[in-house]
């Protein structure tokens, strides 16, 4: 019986993940700091001249914080080098990762945004003659909610229906055939050439990875799009109370309806839910409410003491735990599947909550 799982960032075959501690030394090079300082300073100036909508003020504020952070670290290192002493104070781990992400994003990648109404050619927000977002942006990695993937699959079905009444059943059969052999380590070059290559071109032709979260993803959508677009379709799971992602699928994980293994440093355990009939002693896999612990768990709900007492608890070791209300199942390889919901809130595919009470 599994009482607690501690994530190391990947799934293990035959056993639950274990803790691995890797020494971390944050490093940012001088040219990265100088580049980031100039980038954020120019962004602040440009946004200051063009800010006319309230929503852009938050972007201006974030760029200002990034500029102050990068400039402060740069100034500290210059002073330390000038006096001949190495600065003993290391860059905070989170800040270091944030600055490096900003640097590599500005130098080597471009970030673009799309909406559900203009994502595909059949989008309701497209005027006649306009191209869809995916055909214009040609994404390599797409981060989205399940609703966007459902619309992509629906758009594929609509295109096939206009060609022939038998097109959709044949497409469904071919994708099931490809999924069967892909799960066993084989490829289907004929299916790729005749069907999948054309579908990939509809998505820009460069898509390799799709990361989906914020709501449950349909198993049919996951299996069909993964086969049709020949991409790695990865599910992730996280909450605001845990400061982001908790579970994430590996790139080569071919499972369906799972959200991957716990990330490094996250503590996961299940508790029994008698009313729902979920117990840690269930066979073949333990089931129960997912409880998340670790340094990333927030302290409290702001000015909501009653809700804080219900959702957060601290054990004898000083570890703080968050009771998610989601029912999970732990598989032998350490991955997690979300199978039910305990709280009377339902999260739609768009990521919004609705109350069932």
| Kind and range of the H or E run holding 250 | none
The 10s digit of each residue's pLDDT in 273-296 is: 888 889 999 999 999 999 999 888
Region 206-232: mean pLDDT is 90
Taking all residues of the chain, what is their mean pLDDT, rounded to a whole number?
A: 75
What is the pLDDT at residue 330? 92
Q: How many CA atoms lie within 13 A of 271 on its CB side?
A: 11
Pick the closest to residue 289 from 298, 280, 301 (CA basis): 280
SS3 290: strand
Q: Would the pLDDT of 305 be above 60?
A: yes
Tell me how far CA of residue 236 lies from CA of 13, 47, 144, in angstroms: 19, 33, 11
What is the pLDDT at residue 25? 41
Query: Can you tell me which residue has the tokens 């198993």?
Result: 219
Region 349-356: mean pLDDT is 52
Region 210-215: mean pLDDT is 88
The 10s digit of each residue's pLDDT in 7-37 is: 655 555 444 333 333 333 444 455 555 665 6
The 10s digit of each residue's pLDDT in 55-74 is: 445 555 555 555 565 566 55
Tell me how far CA of residue 248 lies from CA of 100, 167, 213, 251, 321, in angstroms: 21, 35, 9, 9, 19
More confident residue, 352 or 140: 140
The 10s digit of each residue's pLDDT in 125-148 is: 788 888 888 888 888 889 888 988
More confident residue, 176 or 61: 176
Q: Output the CA angle 197-230-172, nearest 5 degrees.
A: 80
Q: Would the pLDDT of 90 be above 50?
A: no
Residues 6+ apart with CB under 8 A from 230: 192, 196, 200
Q: Would the pLDDT of 176 be above 70?
A: yes
Q: Would the pLDDT of 43 be above 70?
A: no
Tell me how far CA of residue 22 lies from CA of 19, 25, 28, 64, 264, in angstroms: 10, 10, 18, 32, 10
Q: Would the pLDDT of 357 be above 50?
A: no
SS3 106: helix
């Amino acid at each position: 019986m599994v009482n607690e799982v501690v994530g190391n960032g990947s799934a293990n075959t035959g056993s639950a993940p274990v803790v691995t501690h890797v020494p971390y030394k944050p490093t940012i090079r001088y040219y990265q700091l100088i580049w980031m300082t100039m980038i954020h300073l120019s962004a602040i100036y440009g946004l200051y001249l063009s800010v006319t909508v309230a929503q852009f003020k938050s972007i201006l504020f974030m760029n200002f914080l990034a500029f102050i952070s990068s400039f402060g670290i740069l100034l500290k290192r210059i002073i330390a080098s000038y006096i001949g002493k190495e600065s003993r104070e290391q860059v905070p781990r989170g800040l270091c990762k944030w600055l490096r992400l900003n640097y590599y994003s500005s130098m080597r990648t471009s970030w673009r945004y799309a909406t559900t109404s203009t994502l595909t050619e059949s989008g309701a927000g497209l005027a006649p003659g306009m191209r869809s977002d995916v055909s214009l942006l040609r994404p390599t990695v797409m981060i989205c909610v399940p609703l966007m993937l459902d619309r992509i699959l629906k758009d594929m079905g609509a295109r096939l229906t206009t060609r022939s009444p038998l097109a959709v059943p044949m497409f469904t059969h071919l994708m099931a055939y490809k999924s069967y052999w892909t799960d066993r380590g084989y490829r289907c070059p004929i299916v790729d050439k005749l069907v999948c290559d054309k579908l990939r071109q509809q998505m820009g032709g460069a898509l390799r990875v799709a990361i989906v979260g914020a709501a449950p993803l349909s198993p049919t959508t996951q299996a069909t799009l993964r086969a049709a677009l020949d991409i790695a379709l990865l599910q992730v799971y996280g909450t605001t109370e845990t400061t982001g992602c908790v579970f994430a699928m590996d790139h080569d994980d071919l499972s369906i309806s799972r959200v991957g293994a716990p990330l490094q440093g996250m503590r996961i355990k299940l508790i029994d839910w008698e009313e729902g009939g979920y117990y840690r002693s269930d066979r073949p896999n333990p089931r129960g409410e997912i409880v998340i612990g670790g340094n990333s768990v927030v302290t409290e709900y702001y000015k909501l003491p009653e809700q804080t007492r219900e959702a957060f608890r601290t054990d004898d070791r000083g570890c703080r735990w968050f009771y998610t209300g989601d029912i999970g199942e732990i598989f032998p390889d350490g991955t997690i599947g979300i199978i039910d919901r305990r709280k009377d809130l339902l999260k739609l595919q768009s990521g919004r909550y609705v109350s069932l009470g």
